[in-house]
Amino acid sequence: MSSSNPLRDPADRRLPRIAGPSGLVIFGVTGDLSRKKLMPAVYDLANRGLLPPGFSLVGFARRDWEHEDFAEVVHDAVKEHARTPFREEVWQQLIQGMRFVQGTFDDDESFERLRDTIEELDKAQGTGGNFAFYLSVPPSAFPVVIQQLKKHRLADQSNGSWRRAVIEKPFGHDLKSAEDLNTTVEEVFAPDQVFRIDHYLGKETVQNILALRFANTMFEPIWNRSFVDHVQITMAEDIGIGGRAGYYDGIGAARDVIQNHLLQLMALTAMEEPASFDADALAAEKTKVLGAVKLPKDLGRDTVRGQYAEGWQGGEKAVGYLQEEGIDPNSKTDTYAAIKVEIDNRRWAGVPFYLRTGKRLGRRVTEIAVVFQRAPHSPFDTTATEELGSNAIVIRVQPDEGVTVRFGSKVPGTSMEIRDVSMDFAYGESFTESSPEAYERLILDVLLGDSNLFPRTEEVELSWKILDPIEEYWDKHGRPAQYPSGTWGPVEADEMLAREGRSWRRP
């Protein structure tokens, strides 16, 4: 059904959201992200019938490729990484709109060729001048690409067409560089033309935080300081840095994922109910939470950073971070980070939010655990409740997507022994539809101009304001603590919680 159909109510979100005439230009098309995520996502969208028939995909890179070579690379990427089955007829249609522009970022002629290509596609594929430019490039290349888009009038939206810029993280490496980047981008693109990708927001389970909280009545009354003891947000990975030494060293875990993914998860968990699910209303509530974050007074006590040492992972020997190829053997880069923050508002005052992330940890898991206070009084013997933990609601972001509610239950038998049990909702069991990949959802949203799931300038800057003092402290004090690969991080992180009578979950 097209968006011009008079019977279609645009507010009805049950109808498939299908992009209108448009195309996507990817800068950095030879990179890993493009091959593993972007190209497959475009194919999956086409396969699900969510792209217009003339949809066009333009790759821009230095390689000496013809259109056919580019199409072959996309083909292999799709075969290897797409979520949905390969269908020849979908591929044949998609290939009609595939073009490659050989060029470098500082070369005017390359951008003229890009403009010609877009004009040619408008005629051949009916793309209507509507193009999104995806900057899957190192941050140092952002300014030149943005300026070239301006200089060659590629950012102009004339005759009702649209032009959008999609920016991949990192959005700077501190507040100052993020502000500079935002200025550069906003000199050329209006705020509603800019889409900053935080792919965690494209994950189904992350959007489900909002459904869980605001479409139900039973969670929200206890979602506050009167009942919640603390919140733990964990993003653990079992992989090391792989081939990303160039990007990762000097950046570290906190900048890589706390500044964006984890603070966004925290904002969604802690924010007030937005007036609607529209982009402005959501951004307003997330911004309030990020603006209310209070850092601990003693950063030495309430933050921990670590670095993986050699160890065992999945039955195989893993090298330490300092032995990874391309890493400075004296590097102080954190591959593990844990921080405590509070949110200074009426709902959350005094409730710690513990955020932790790390590479080469015990297993890959991302979850948000809202842990409740203990019962103020227990009529049972303490010996009967020895094995009882705290009640908790755990949003399992990945890999076993779902929600767990943990509570105490009587152990069958003659005594009144009480132990923790859990009640589970699993996506795989409750729904027959499989979840789209985050990038599918986000690319479709860009083409539709729907910016709900994209962090705004203020959110990015506020997140750096939270992280900058921590990074500065770490910079001045010592080195990251070592932890063996395959464990749950440095002992200092356990001590950080133990001092407050709490402990990290072992998911």
Contact between 232 and 395 under an 8 Å Cβ cutoff? The reply is no
Least distance to ligand BG6 from the beta carbon of 70, Å?
A: 25
* Nearest residue to 232 (alpha-carbon basis) of 205, 201, 289, 270: 270
Report the C-alpha gap between 308 and 334 in whole angstroms: 9
Prior bond to 399 cis, omega within 30? yes
Least distance to ligand BG6 from the beta carbon of 256, Å?
A: 5
**Does residue number 168 form part of the binding site for ligand BG6 (CB under 6 A)?**
no
On whether 62 is known to bind a ligand per the annotation, the reply is yes
Our answer to whether residue 261 is catalytic in this structure is yes
Residue located via tokens 């004009």: 119
On whether 256 is known to bind a ligand per the annotation, the reply is yes
- Cβ closer to ligand BG6: 373 or 398? 398
- Cβ closer to ligand BG6: 199 or 230? 199
- Cβ closer to ligand BG6: 125 or 264? 264
Contact between 503 and 352 under an 8 Å Cβ cutoff? The reply is no
Q: Name the residue whose CB lies closest to ligand BG6.
A: 256
On whether 168 is known to bind a ligand per the annotation, the reply is no
- Cβ closer to ligand BG6: 257 or 466? 257
Prior bond to 352 cis, omega within 30? no
Site for ligand BG6 in 125-154 (CB under 6 A): none
Least distance to ligand BG6 from the beta carbon of 201, Å?
A: 11
Write each residue from 367 to 396 as x if it is in contact with ligand BG6 (CB under 6 A), else as -, in one continuous string. ------------------------------
Measure Cα distances from 474 to 260, 438, 460, 466, 467 in Å: 19, 32, 21, 14, 11
**Which residue type is seen at 241?**
I
Backbone φ and ψ for 463, nearest 5 degrees, come out as: -65, -40
Contact between 449 and 162 under an 8 Å Cβ cutoff? The reply is yes
Residue 70 neighbours by CB distance under 10 Å = 24
In the chain, helix, strand, coil percent, each to 5?
40, 20, 40
Residue 116 neighbours by CB distance under 10 Å = 11
* Nearest residue to 51 (alpha-carbon basis) of 453, 439, 444: 444
Q: How many residues bind ligand BG6 (CB under 6 A)?
A: 4
Report the C-alpha gap between 450 and 447 in whole angstroms: 8
Q: For strand 316-318 and strand 303-309, is the pairing parallel, antiparallel, or unpaired?
A: unpaired
- Cβ closer to ligand BG6: 237 or 401? 237
Least distance to ligand BG6 from the beta carbon of 141, Å?
A: 17
Report the C-alpha gap between 180 and 350 in whole angstroms: 34
Site for ligand BG6 in 244-283 (CB under 6 A): 256-257
Write each residue from 185 to 214 as x if it is in contact with ligand BG6 (CB under 6 A), else as -, in one continuous string. --------------x---------------
- Cβ closer to ligand BG6: 199 or 305? 199
Q: Which of 81, 152, 173, 261 is catalytic?
A: 261
Least distance to ligand BG6 from the beta carbon of 449, Å?
A: 24
Site for ligand BG6 in 284-343 (CB under 6 A): none
- Residue 444: helix, strand or coil by DSSP? helix
Site for ligand BG6 in 9-68 (CB under 6 A): none
Least distance to ligand BG6 from the beta carbon of 99, Å?
A: 29
Backbone φ and ψ for 474, nearest 5 degrees, come out as: -60, -40
**Does residue number 459 form part of the binding site for ligand BG6 (CB under 6 A)?**
no
**Does residue number 237 form part of the binding site for ligand BG6 (CB under 6 A)?**
yes
Backbone φ and ψ for 435, nearest 5 degrees, come out as: -75, 135
Least distance to ligand BG6 from the beta carbon of 56, Å?
A: 27
On whether 17 is known to bind a ligand per the annotation, the reply is no
On whether 169 is known to bind a ligand per the annotation, the reply is yes
Q: Binding site for NADP(+): which residues?
A: 62, 169
Residues that bind ligand BG6 (CB under 6 A): 199, 237, 256-257
The set of catalytic residues is: 261
Residues annotated as binding site for substrate?
Answer: 199, 203, 237, 256, 359
- Residues of the binding site: 62, 169, 199, 203, 237, 256, 359
